[in-house]
Amino acid sequence: MSGESVSKLNKRSKCTASIPAWEKIKFSADGLKRLEPQECKMRDFVEKHMVDECGLVYSFLNAKTLKPWTDAELNAYNLQPVCHSNVNSPADYYAYENSLMATGEYAASQVARFEVTGEGEALCSAGHQVNAIMQVFYQAQLFEKGFLPKPFGGIRKCAYSHELSPDQQVKCLVALRAYQRYAPASQKRTIDDYIVAMADYHQARGFIHPRRESFVVTPENRPHAISILVPLLMCACNITGDSKYRDALKRFNPILDDYAHGKFQIHFNLAALMVEGFHLAICEGLDDDRLKTAIRKLWDAHIGLVLDEGLGYIDETRSRKSSEVLRMSGMAPIVDYYFPKLCARQLGLFLLQKNTNPKRLLYINEDSDPRPYHGPLSESICELAVGSWLMGYWRMRKSAET
């Protein structure tokens, strides 16, 4: 081979090597269908190990025992910021810290499964999780109607929880709206009632709330709060016909401007919440080009954190690899809907193919940072990754078959 030919070959090899692994596969409906056994395995794992007796999905499942962490097991860890060491039962906090988010994600995935397959069991499954979310509403009404707290200790104890989070609420709202299409009239009416009550709860407080009883969260100091506030206000406006909910959106204009200009924190979960919330707001009739622009900016900003092995750097420090990258799979069908030329489903399918063992879907899979990280995250199954796997799978199946 001539020197010139070798040079050309080397150039092509270097070029090929620089292409991310996910760009080397093709998205296809057949590729998704070949993952049917893995989907069954993932869903079976959720039902066997991750759903409590009332329908809430556990968070931070102990990867060794496949059960929630116990107080005794947690004694060896730094528990902040999930909880302080002096709480009555740290296990109650860890098992339900991200439970509402996971419950909503799983419910929405099963609605999508029903829309693809028509299987009644899928809708029954979604109903189990929706009823759990509504039970949290009912218990929290002992404080105030519309309060949707993190259900620490499960439904039997959640009335004592003081903690709410926009992270949790947006996934619940998405699930409730998706399920409503198939619910009986009385249940639709009840869900509407509590969605409006939740909007009233937030609006009455000027869209602020305490976090960990240690500082006050505002949309300005925690911009991702608008992931729930924007679609929630649109839902309440549509349900009631009252323009006060839509008028309140003006408060968030500076934050929406920032997102549309790519000014936001880099983190897979935060990106998933924002994309989900903005998409729901658009579906509820909010005509604002900044929402679509922000969806694209969020997607583009996180692609570079995806690794060829199927994991992803959890943030810009690039020191911790995580299965939470699967949040990109859940986002992919939404991004593809607005921007099909980005080949988002291609990346989504790649991540599904690379992550088929639920026992390996950890919060932190590899950690090169010498600084201690809170809690047993490297030993805990990431419920968000499992839920996003199922959400991505069924949403992509739906988009591929319509």
- Could you read off the pLDDT tens digit of each residue along the chain, which spans 402 residues? 444 443 443 444 444 458 999 999 999 999 999 999 999 999 999 999 999 999 999 999 999 999 999 999 999 898 887 887 788 999 999 999 999 999 999 999 999 999 999 999 999 999 999 999 999 999 999 999 999 999 999 999 999 998 999 889 999 999 999 999 999 999 999 999 999 999 999 999 999 998 887 789 999 999 999 999 999 999 999 999 999 999 999 999 999 999 999 999 999 999 999 999 999 999 999 999 999 999 999 999 999 999 999 999 988 889 999 999 999 999 999 999 999 999 999 999 999 999 999 999 999 999 988 776 677 999 999 999 999 999 999 999 999 987
Q: Given strand 320-322, what is the order of strands in its sheet? A: 312-313, 320-322, 366-367
Determine the Cα–Cα distance for residues 268 and 190; give it in Å rounded to an integer: 33
Q: What is the DSSP string of 326-384?
A: GHHHHHHHHHHHH-GGG-HHHHHHHHHHH---GGG-BS-SEE---S--STTGGGEE-HH
**Cβ(44)–Cβ(37) below 8 Å:** no
Peptide bond before 81: cis, by omega within 30 degrees of 0? yes
Burial per residue of 17-30, b for 16 or more beta-carbon CB atoms within 10 angstroms, e otherwise: eeeeebeeeebeee
Residues 6+ away with beta carbon under 8 Å from 93: 79, 82, 83, 87, 152
Q: Where are the alpha helices (DSSP H) in 141-240?
A: 166-180, 185-204, 226-240
Give me the pLDDT at residue 7, please: 46
Q: Which two tokens stand for residue 78?
A: 């730094």
Exposed, middle or buried by CB within 10 Å (0-12, 13-18, 19+), for 9?
Answer: exposed
Domain chopping of the chain, boundaries = 205-303
DSSP 67: B
Determine the Cα–Cα distance for residues 199 and 166; give it in Å rounded to an integer: 12
Q: Which long-range contacts (CB under 8 A, 24 or more apart) does 117-123 make?
A: 123/182
Give me the pLDDT at residue 226, please: 97
For residue 32, which amino acid is it? L
Exposed, middle or buried by CB within 10 Å (0-12, 13-18, 19+), for 91?
Answer: buried
Determine the Cα–Cα distance for residues 91 and 68; give it in Å rounded to an integer: 7
Q: What share of the chain is helix, strand, coil (3-state, %, to 5)?
A: 60, 5, 35
**Cβ(330)–Cβ(392) below 8 Å:** yes
Strand partners, 320: 367
Tell me how many degrees the CA angle 73-79-80 measures, rounded to the nearest 5. Answer: 175
Q: Within 10 A of 66 (CB to CB), how many other CB atoms are there?
A: 14
DSSP 56: P
Give me the pLDDT at residue 12, please: 42
Determine the Cα–Cα distance for residues 211 and 164; give it in Å rounded to an integer: 7
Residues 6+ away with beta carbon under 8 Å from 121: none
